Amino acid sequence: MRILVSNDDGYFSPGITLLAEALRPLGEVTVVAPERDRSGASNSLTLDRPLTVRRAPNGFYFVNGTPTDCVHIAVTGLLDFIPDVVVSGINHGANMGDDTIYSGTVAAAAEGYLLGIPSIAVSLASKAGGHFDSAAGIACALVKRLMRAPFGEPVLLNVNVPDVAPPALGGLEVTRLGRRHKAEPVVKLQTPRGETAYWIGPAGAAADAGPGTDFHAVENGRVSVTPLRMDLTGTTQLAHAREWLSK
């Protein structure tokens, strides 16, 4: 099995190092990740300049681009093979509900998915970052499962793991995305040159966090596994839109 690993926290982050180590017994692991923290980069491709790929002493490739750039470059030119699976993470912090729209962790996996490869985004659902080992174990288990039992259709899984020791994990639950309240207000700052600067605030608290959501599973100590799709069509509004256009 050939496994492509990426992330959005940067190639030097503890999450990606532990993830690569955990996956190594399962096959050939190649890491291609951003050279710096690109959290919040979403599905952005760099189109206005060429990108460079360099190799760190530990063998990881790093790119002066986005998470999406990394997976795109890896699959379409850097590697001389098509990976069997793309695993992105382990993100330092949750990617649940609306986070998935902005997340570079999810975006790296989404790029694999869009290129036809089964892909998994893995996040440790806490900024404390105490138990990356739990998330690494879950990533391993899911990749093993894909080897043993292929999903059978194109798949993009968004996985959030509670930040507790492995024995305290409460099992896996298939979930839907919850929703967050709107983000906290932007923070206004004065620059040394007297300009007002704006610093985007943190994500809002969970709004829809009821049973069946990713928030609910993680809150109750279970690993959340959400199958995502990239088709943004508002399928439930097609008829309404047609009716509106006929007015």
Element holding 136 (H helix, E strand): helix 132-148
Q: Could you tell me which stretch among 21-29, 31-39, 113-121, 205-213 binds Mn ion (CB under 5 A)?
A: 31-39
Interface with Mn ion (CB under 5 A), residue from 17, 68, 91, 134: 91
Residue type, 206: A
Q: In the bound complex, what is the minimum distance in angstroms from residue 148's beta carbon to Mn ion? A: 29
Residue 99 touches Mn ion, criterion: CB under 5 A = no
**Residue number, 1 or 228, with CB nearest to Mn ion:** 228
Residue type, 94: A
Interface with Mn ion (CB under 5 A), residue from 6, 39, 68, 158: 39
Residue 9 touches Mn ion, criterion: CB under 5 A = yes
Q: Can you state the angle between helices 132-148 and 14-23, rounded to 10 degrees?
A: 40
Count of residues of this chain found to bind Mn ion when the rule CB under 5 A is applied: 4
Q: In the bound complex, what is the minimum distance in angstroms from residue 36's beta carbon to Mn ion? A: 11
Q: In the bound complex, what is the minimum distance in angstroms from residue 67's beta carbon to Mn ion? A: 9
**Residue number, 150 or 202, with CB nearest to Mn ion:** 202
- Give DSSP secondary structure letters for 193-246: TS-EEEE--PPPPEEE--TTBHHHHHHTTPEEEEE-------GGGHHHHHHHHT
Q: Are 111 and 43 in contact (CB under 8 A)?
A: yes
Q: In the bound complex, what is the minimum distance in angstroms from residue 9's beta carbon to Mn ion? A: 4
**Residue number, 107 or 146, with CB nearest to Mn ion:** 107
Residue 8 touches Mn ion, criterion: CB under 5 A = yes
Residue 35 touches Mn ion, criterion: CB under 5 A = no
State the Cα torsion 24-62-124-166 to the nearest 10°. Answer: 20
Residue 163 touches Mn ion, criterion: CB under 5 A = no
Q: Residues 6 or more apart from 116 whose CB is under 8 A from it?
A: 154
**Residue number, 103 or 134, with CB nearest to Mn ion:** 103
**Residue number, 30 or 105, with CB nearest to Mn ion:** 105
Q: In the bound complex, what is the minimum distance in angstroms from residue 80's beta carbon to Mn ion? A: 29
Q: Are 149 and 35 in contact (CB under 8 A)?
A: no
DSSP 3: E
**Residue number, 84 or 158, with CB nearest to Mn ion:** 158
The token pair that represents 134 in the structure block: 């739990």
The token pair that represents 78 in the structure block: 């850097």
- Binding interface with Mn ion (CB under 5 A): 8-9, 39, 91
